[in-house]
Chains A and B, each alone.
Chain A
Amino acid sequence: MKKTLTAALATFLFLTPNIQTTATQLYYNQEEYNNVLNEILYEYNGIVVENHPLFGYLTYKNADGDIIKAPYYTSSLVVEKQNIEEIEDRIGYIDELFPSYEFDSRDSTIENIKPGDNIYIRTDEQGYIKYISAYTDYSLRYGKIDNIKLINQNEALISFTDENGQTFFNQPLSIDTFVTKLGRPISINDIRPGEWAKFLVSRARVEEGFIEEEILEIVVDPDSRVVEDIYKGDVLQLGSFDNSLKLSDAQVLEQTGFGQYVDIISFNANPRNFDAYLDGRQTSFDYMKKFVSGSQMTAYVAIEEFMGKENVAKMNVQNDFTKLIKPAMVIDTSATEIRLMGGEILRPNQDSIVLKGDRLVSPNNILVGDTIQTIVDASNNLIVAKAVENIGQGPLTVYRGTIKKINDYDVFVVETFSLLDQDEWYYHPQPRTFALDSNTRFYDEEGFVENGIDTFLGYGTNTEINEIFTIVADGDKAVLVSKMPYTREVAKGVVYIDTEAAEDEEAASILLKDVFYYNVDENLWRQFDQTNLGIGIELEENGFIIKNGELIEANRLKKGDEVSVMLTDELVNLLEDEGDGEGDEVPLVPGYIILVK
């Protein structure tokens, strides 16, 4: 393995760091020149076991399995390392032959040589390392994140389980590990339990019977693998021909309880990783197929959307009484109990289906303060828990103000403003500045204004100075700017049909039941209709809806959403103006601002 080189390239090799860092020319005298020319180089390779830059040495395991200690002087050491993000060495070896002043992403320092790195080194005849070229041999792992916890300012521990059920428990993770989602960097704090991710790992230490891996990079699934729905139904068939599960009389769990019956619904079910439980015991695909298909037992099935298909993520079959508990806040948790605000004490088990943030998670991810909708059996064993998002407007705030100044494509200032809070406008006699960018949406009476930022100007014939706008802002950034009437009145109600599922002439309307409106004179909420006929809200072209901290289209309103609607006049007056509200037809009123509570 040992190879001697008397190459002239040594001249440049050893000079390179000085030349590169100081960018000054060195001159040899004849003796120095001969020394460099005739210097003997020794080449080795191996895997780094330890590296101690402070003490000036590293140890590596060579091809014979021997542990070799190799000293170095940091000041006369060239280090190159192939980074994981570099797909090729663009500069190549030429910068080792001749000095190069351009940036080479392979140029590195001795501190970056880590245990597990594959190194190629050259030493002088005394055994001191002069040059190191390193790369990390990495592997890919794919799994579902069980939990992630910060242990100090620099490190976190992450546990995940791969598709074959192998658990990687408490893998150390540097806080500056590169994490991406949808091709964009995200913080480690934004990783949520239940998410799937790809892990680029290096084998930091491999010994006989022992392997230690270090996570170099995490790519989080771009929300393509979500578990949103839980179905209840009878197991009709498990098909081995097409790997499917058919439920009969199926109902999906909605915010208000189980929804409409569907005669037969079919999902993909993979017998190779079928996660199903019968009365608390895990059972196989074949067992379910033979003994449960066609029975009257009730199955609760969590459905995962992945690769364009609906797959069975977990199934819990019960032969017992079950009851649905309305969403309630968790006030205490332990490994064996979850206590709800209403006093119920629930017992989580291995077969519990727990959904949080559209992910299937383990019960220990239910935390105090979460609001959960649950299904339990007669002994209060937890069958299903679904965490209910409770964001409301989130970071979005609604303002209304008169434009005082506009800096093109940058900011605008309102002279004074009103702030919408708890369905009331609160006046603030002071200016406020909002930032604009290409994502700011503009609306006028005609609706959306394409490239509206180009016409939102404070000069010329179309100047917007002194015009009144309603603004939705995220902090200081204007998300939406709309020219709409003043909406002082409010009504509230509950969406009773998914807007996308509405039929006939009411298709474009948001249908509300349990409607109340605020009577300013009496200073109280009044019920709209004793028979609970409800109303339909026609969202105006320049109106908007805020749900869970974001602007949404009407078709994203779901049955059970509690909303307040800002109106230009009191509800009853609007109905008189519209000439509606007679007979069995749902009366329709125009709405501008809809806030989902």
Chain B
Amino acid sequence: MKKFLSVILCLGIMVTNTFALEGELGYFGGTTPGTKIPTGIALAQDKFELENNYTLPYKETIYLSGAPVVVSGTLELKPGEMDPDETTGDYKETYIVRAVSDDKQTEISRSLTLETIYVRNDITGQTTKSSQVSNWTETVVTGGKSYFLDEDLSSFSKSMIEDNTPGVKYYSGDVYYNAVYTSGADKLSMKVDSRIYGYDQAFAKSETQKRNITIDTGDNQYYIEETPTTTMSKELAYAGNEPHAISFAGNYKELIKGEGVLTYNMLVGGDLVHEDDLSGTVSVTDNPSLEQLALPFLSQLNGHPAKADVEKMYSMGIFDMNPLGFSPNQVVTRGQYIKMLVKALRIPLPEITTKSKKNAPPIVSPFSDLDINHDLYIYAKAALDAGLVIGGNINADDPLTIEQMITFNVRAIGLLRLGMTVANTQTPFVDDNQISDYAKPSIYAATKIGILPSTNGYIFPQKLVTYQDCAALMNNFIDYLRYDLQKDYNQHMMM
């Protein structure tokens, strides 16, 4: 039954990963709060399916009149879907924008359909995509004039690359377009080049575009730099129950909320626009949604310094042993930690059948020391498929050390390259000489991104990880995924 549920959960998550949801900003400089990250409850449902049509709150800045004018409205998004079983394929994606300014003097109506083709590279684990426009209509009213897009003279191209690491999908790409508008006898062109960056993981997702815009009205030319960004994240909060006569004191909940922010800077703007008005920031938010998380009663931890960390682990379903038998000083094994990471990062679980088909060769475990019938096998296989571990000896029953845990964490989010310097890396810890060579790049990278303090005495790399250590370090790791990774994609990019 347990495996059956896992398979169902796995299918739901796989659907999540096959949707091509980059483009939640719409590629035209607007911003939205993004689409909601599915809750755990939704993913656990038999009939869970992601929607194929979203309508999001939307804001964009129109520059055609020489001054930035903010319009608000909606972005209707129909994302495409990649076939998980094919290395090549194509899909269609549609973006429909309707927005108007506060004073109703400026409005925009736009519809764009893209035909996207993709190919997966099995060697790099990356997917490349290329999009061409199949339909593009647009009308802008601003400054007392109406501008109509001339589709024949306009062009649009988009190219993306995705890198799938075990726990995070990163992507980047470029969009270039030349929009030619007519207004009576006048012609106006807007050339845009844009870099796109984004990531998607279990606790948050962000997308940012760095856009350079050149507008030529014939009489005047304008140049704008703008950075639209969107972030959808899950925040964790505790809610205490006020009544005394209630069976549980409180529980954790995840607050899923999105925020889109657009910063703009007209380096060359209209003559009459005041310097202070040439740059600005607009934001758009959605209504947060909540998911209550179940929390067992851990009486043995009352007053324990790691109580909150352990409770969070239980709430997120990462610790799943019987709470009555939980001991914070028990050592975590490598196999148990791999399972925790797979669950936390929602790495898809494979479908496991122990019986091979008739005349088919017997199913053999890729691990020499982990049988296919072992409870941890499904998680180890998921970790193997995702690239978190390699085959051979997985040593699932060996105790986990601090350096192994950090190595798993950094590898899981695909940021090992930050620690891969030319020479052997030197970490800032006093007991650096105790760190194994293989673990140094990961620990170095961990100090760079902040999931370990950059200067803080000893790390004790060979110390065996207990459940209390594991809870504290893993919470810090998950907090990075919830709150800090996004800063590289939103607030740091806006400067």
Q: Which residues of A contact B (CB under 8 A)?
A: 45-47, 60-65, 118-120, 135, 137, 139-140, 142, 163-164, 182-183, 197-198, 206-211, 219-224, 240-243, 271-272, 305-309, 441, 448, 450-451, 550-553, 556
Tell me the minimal C-beta distance from A225 to chain B in angstroms.
9
- Inter-chain contact A183/B483, CB cutoff 8 Å: no
Complex CA gap A528/B245 in Å reads: 72
Q: Check if B424 sits within 8 Å of A222, measured CB to CB.
A: no
User: Which residues does chain A contribute within 8 Å of B416, judged by CB atoms?
Assistant: none
Could you write out 11 A-B pairs with CB less than 8 Å apart?
A47-B426, A62-B423, A120-B422, A137-B421, A198-B495, A208-B426, A208-B430, A241-B255, A305-B281, A308-B281, A451-B271
Judging by beta carbons under 8 Å apart, are B422 and A135 in contact?
yes
- Distance between Cα atoms of A309 and B270 in the complex (Å): 27
Q: Do B428 and A210 have beta carbons less than 8 Å apart?
A: yes
Residues in B236-263 with C-beta less than 8 Å from chain A: 237, 239, 255, 259, 261-263
Query: Given contacts A208-B433, A209-B429, A307-B283, are A183 and B290 in contact (CB under 8 A)?
Result: no
Question: In the bound complex, do residue A307 and residue B281 qualify as a contact, i.e. CB atoms below 8 Å apart?
Answer: yes
Contact present for B430 and A272 (CB under 8 Å): no
Quote the shortest CB–CB distance from B359 to chain A (angstroms). Answer: 51
Q: Does the CB pair B422–A307 fall under 8 Å? A: no
Pairwise interchain contact A64-B424, C-beta atoms closer than 8 A: yes
Q: Are A198's CB and B492's CB within 8 A? A: yes
Total cross-chain contacts (CB, 8 A): 117
A-contact 0/1 string along B213-228, CB 8 Å cutoff: 0000001000001000
Whether B288 and A241, one on each chain, are in contact in the complex, defined by CB atoms closer than 8 angstroms, is: yes
Across the A-B interface, give the 4 residue pairs with the lowest CB-CB distance, nearest first: A308-B283, A209-B430, A118-B422, A63-B424
Chain B contributes a number of interface residues (CB within 8 A of A) equal to 49
A219 to B490 Cα, complex, angstroms: 15
Q: Are A183 and B271 in contact (CB under 8 A)?
A: no
Cβ–Cβ contact A118 & B421, under 8 A: yes
B423 touches A118 (CB 8 A): yes
> Which A residues are in CB contact (< 8 Å) with B283?
307-309
Q: Name the residue of chain B whose CB is nearest to the CB of A1.
A: B423
Contacts of B225 in A (CB 8 A): 183
CB distance B255 to A183 under 8 Å?
no
Tell me whether B83 is interfacial, beta carbon within 8 Å.
no
Q: Which of A140, A207, A224 contacts B263 (CB 8 A)?
A: A224
Q: Decide if A222 touches B427 in the complex (CB within 8 Å).
A: no
Is B448 engaged at the interface, CB distance under 8 Å to the other chain? yes
Measured in the bound complex, the distance between the Cα atoms of B262 and A288 in whole Å is 32
- B115 at the A interface (CB under 8 A): no
The answer to whether B279 and A182 touch across the interface, beta carbons within 8 angstroms, is yes
- Chain A hits for B259, CB < 8 A: 307
B454 within 8 A of A: yes
Hey, which chain B residues are within 8 Å of A208, CB to CB?
A: 426, 429-433
Q: How far, in angstroms, from A222 to B279 measured CA to CA in the complex?
A: 9
Whether B282 sits at the interface, judged by CB under 8 Å, is yes
Whether A183 pairs with B494 at a CB distance below 8 angstroms is no
Q: Do A308 and B261 have beta carbons less than 8 Å apart?
A: yes
Q: Is the CB of A47 within 8 A of B433?
A: no
Tell me if B491 is interfacial: C-beta within 8 Å of chain A. yes
Q: Which chain A residue shows the least CB distance to B429?
A: A209
Question: A197 vs B424: C-alpha distance in the bound complex, in angstroms?
Answer: 31
Known: A211-B428, A552-B274. A307 touches B491 (CB 8 A): yes
Instruction: Give A150 Cβ to nearest chain B Cβ, in Å.
Output: 24
Query: B483 contacts which chain A residues (CB < 8 A)?
Result: 272
- Nearest chain-B residue to A181 (Cβ)? B495
Q: Is B154 an interface residue (CB 8 A)?
A: no
How far in angstroms is the closest Cβ of chain B from A201?
A: 10
Closest CB in chain B relative to A196 CB, distance in Å: 8
**Is the Cβ of B491 less than 8 Å from the Cβ of A240?**
no
Contact partner of A224 (CB less than 8 A), chosen from B239, B281, B426, is B281
**CB <8 Å contact, A65 and B491:** no
Say if the beta carbon of B272 comes within 8 Å of chain A: yes
Chain A residues lying within 8 Å of B421, measured Cβ to Cβ, are: 47, 118, 137
Would you call A47 and B495 a contact (CB within 8 A)? no
Q: Does B487 have its Cβ within 8 Å of any Cβ on chain A? A: yes
**A219 cross-chain contacts in B, Cβ below 8 A:** 495
Contact assessment for A242 and B288 in the assembled complex, using a CB-CB cutoff below 8 Å: yes
Residue of B nearest to A142 (CB): B492
Q: A140-B492, A182-B265 are in contact. Are A451 and B423 (CB under 8 A)?
A: no
The answer for the CA separation of A550 and B278 in the assembled complex, in Å, is 15
Question: B-side interface residues toward A, CB under 8 Å?
Answer: 219, 225, 235, 237, 239, 255, 259, 261-263, 265, 267, 271-272, 274-276, 279, 281-284, 288, 290, 421-424, 426-433, 448, 450, 454-455, 457, 483, 487-488, 490-492, 494-495
| A-chain residues with CB within 8 Å of residue B267 when the two chains form the complex | 183
Residues of B near A183 (CB, < 8 A) are 225, 265, 267
Contact present for B274 and A553 (CB under 8 Å): yes
Could you say which of B262, B424, B427 contacts A62, with CB atoms under 8 Å apart?
Answer: B424
Q: Is A46 a contact partner of B491 (Cβ separation < 8 A)?
A: no
Contact present for A46 and B428 (CB under 8 Å): no
- Apart from A47-B421, A61-B424, A209-B455, what are 15 other A-B pairs with CB-CB below 8 Å? A47-B422, A142-B487, A182-B279, A198-B492, A206-B427, A207-B426, A208-B431, A220-B495, A224-B281, A242-B288, A243-B235, A305-B281, A308-B282, A451-B219, A551-B274
Assuming A62-B423, A139-B448, is B455 touching A211 (CB within 8 A)? Answer: yes
Pick the contact of A47 from B282, B423, B428 — CB < 8 Å?
Answer: B423
Closest chain B residue to A441, Cβ basis: B271
For the complex formed, measure the closest distance between the CB of A169 and the CB atoms of chain B, giving whole angstroms.
12
CA of A193 to CA of B314, assembled, Å? 43
Taking CB atoms, residues of chain A closer than 8 Å to B262 are 308
Q: Tell me the minimal C-beta distance from A312 to chain B in angstroms.
A: 16
A285 to chain B, nearest CB (A): 10
A516 to B492, CA, bound (A): 50
The CA of A450 and the CA of B273, in the complex, are separated in Å by: 12
User: Which residues does chain B contribute within 8 Å of A45, judged by CB atoms?
Assistant: 422-423
- A residues in contact with B488, CB < 8 Å: 140
Closest residue of chain A to B455 (Cβ to Cβ) is A211
Minimal beta-carbon separation of A586 from chain B (angstroms): 26
Nearest chain B CB to A251 CB, angstrom units: 25
Q: Is the CB of B495 within 8 A of A222?
A: yes
On chain B, the residues within 8 Å of A305 by CB distance are 281
Given the interface contacts A208-B431, A242-B288, does A221 sit within 8 Å of B495 by beta carbon?
yes
* Residues of chain A lying within 8 A (CB to CB) of residue B491: 142, 306-307
B residues within 8 A CB of A206? 426-428
Least CB distance, A183 to chain B, in whole angstroms:
6
What B residues does A62 contact at CB under 8 A? 423-424
Given contacts A222-B265, A441-B271, A448-B272, contact A209 B457 (CB under 8 A): yes
A575 shortest CB reach to chain B, Å: 31
CA–CA, A259 and B261, complex, Å: 30
The complex places the Cα of A190 from the Cα of B455 at a distance, in Å, of: 30
Q: How far is the CA of A240 from the CA of B237 in the complex (A)?
A: 8
Q: How near does chain B come to A519, taking the closest CB pair, in angstroms? A: 35
Interchain CB contact under 8 A, A119 and B422: yes
CA distance A550 to B276 in the complex (A): 11
Bound Cα distance from A241 to B454, whole angstroms:
33
Q: Give the residues in chain A near B428, CB-CB below 8 Å.
A: 206, 209-211
Residue of A with least CB distance to B260: A308
| Residues of chain B within 8 A of A209, CB atoms compared | 428-430, 432, 455, 457
Q: Which residues of A contact B274 (CB under 8 A)?
A: 551-553, 556
**Looking at B225, B426, B457, which has the most chain A CB atoms within 10 Å of its CB?**
B426
Closest to B433 in A: A208
A164 to B265, CA, bound (A): 29
C-alpha spacing A62/B426, complex, angstroms: 10
Contact B271 A448 (CB under 8 A): yes
Q: In the bound complex, what is the Cα–Cα distance between A198 and B288 (angstroms)? A: 30
| CB < 8 Å neighbour of B422 from A46, A164, A556 | A46
A118 — which chain B residues lie within 8 A by C-beta? 421-423
Residues from chain B with Cβ under 8 Å of A65 in the complex: 424, 426, 433
Q: How far is the CA of A550 from the CA of B492 in the complex (A)?
A: 30
The residues of A that contact B239 with a CB separation of less than 8 Å are: 240
CA distance A223 to B275 in the complex (A): 13
Closest residue of chain A to B493 (Cβ to Cβ) is A198
